[in-house]
Amino acid sequence: FLFITTGEENLLAILKRRWWKYMILGIIDIEANYLVVKAYQYTTLTSVQLLDCFVIPVVILLSWFFLLVRYKAVHFIGIVVCILGMGCMAGADVLVGRQQGAGENKLIGDLLVLGGATLYGISNVCEEYIVRNLSRVEFLGMIGLFGSFFSGIQLAIMEHKELLKVPWDWQIGLLYVGFSACMFGLYSFMPVVIKKTSATAVNLSLLTADLYSLFCGLFLFHYKFSGLYLLSFFTILVGLVLYSSTSTYVAQDPRVYKQFRNPSGPVVDLPATGQLEPSVTYTSLGQETEEEPHVRVA
């Protein structure tokens, strides 16, 4: 009760200032998950795995333009190696005939995956911004609040007929509980990892998720095995090591990002005459930096 009614960063104050931003972000995150899951009805598993990698260039571009993240050559090499690893896994799927999910309209499924990957990228970059500049607790609370509300509405409108067809028993219920627990863990730990690394690094790491699902499927569903799966796994790991071997950098223009500086620091007045070039500094994401003075442009 005190959390709701007192303090500068209480729930009501956050909702009053940023409710519409979190509402939009919650809808984006919901639709990202919905589009990718829906795509399995129309296209193949291999297509979903390959096209879902589209989230990586989306995150890179958004991080570059909105978070001002700057990459080195080794980062791009690591990213390319990771994507090559995913290509090996897709090739292995074709060779062993693991084409589950082939539906009636592959084009629609592929477009759904691309749309979902784009929304995933937007959601992840927004998440990185929030956990670095605001609060991890605030992000999880607001996403949980608006996500639950709008996903319930969408379920009631679009999927209520499919929900009635589910043959409910304790096994189905246990599977839903297990899936919910996994998603709870994913959404709880991802902000922590994103704050310590970046949205790009997290999405590169998630490429290994398909390999882990394959290894489980070998025992549960008796999938056929190919040596290319191991090659894919180690290729992705090599790409992750290359990407993580050096820090990315952030270009900061004080005239654009002055609102995020220390407001209690000294104010520096810049001359009003003449054309000013943006002052850009580079700081490693992996190191703590000193507080910079608050800058006011005359």
**What are the pLDDT digits (tens) for 267-290?**
444 444 444 444 343 333 444 444
pLDDT 10s digits, 221-239: 777 777 788 888 899 999 9
CA distances from 257 to 32, 92, 122, 198, 246 (A): 29, 47, 20, 19, 25
Task: Tell me 6's DSSP state.
Answer: S
What is the predicted pLDDT for the residue at 75?
A: 93
pLDDT 10s digits, 123-176: 999 999 999 998 899 999 999 999 999 999 998 998 888 888 888 899 899 988
pLDDT 10s digits, 162-204: 888 888 899 899 988 998 999 899 999 999 999 988 999 999 9
Identity of residue 147: G
- Cα dihedral sign for 80, 81, 86, 90? positive
Q: Report the chain's terminal Cα–Cα distance, integer Å.
A: 44
Question: Which two three-digit tokens encode residue 220?
Answer: 């549960």
Mean pLDDT for 96-105 is: 60
What is the predicted pLDDT for the residue at 5?
A: 43
Separation of alpha carbons 286 and 289, rounded Å? 9
Mean pLDDT for 63-84 is: 92
What's the pTM?
Answer: 0.77
C-beta separation of 82 from 240 below 8 A:
yes
What is the predicted pLDDT for the residue at 146?
A: 93
Count each helix (H run) and each strand (E run) in the chain, helices first.
13, 5
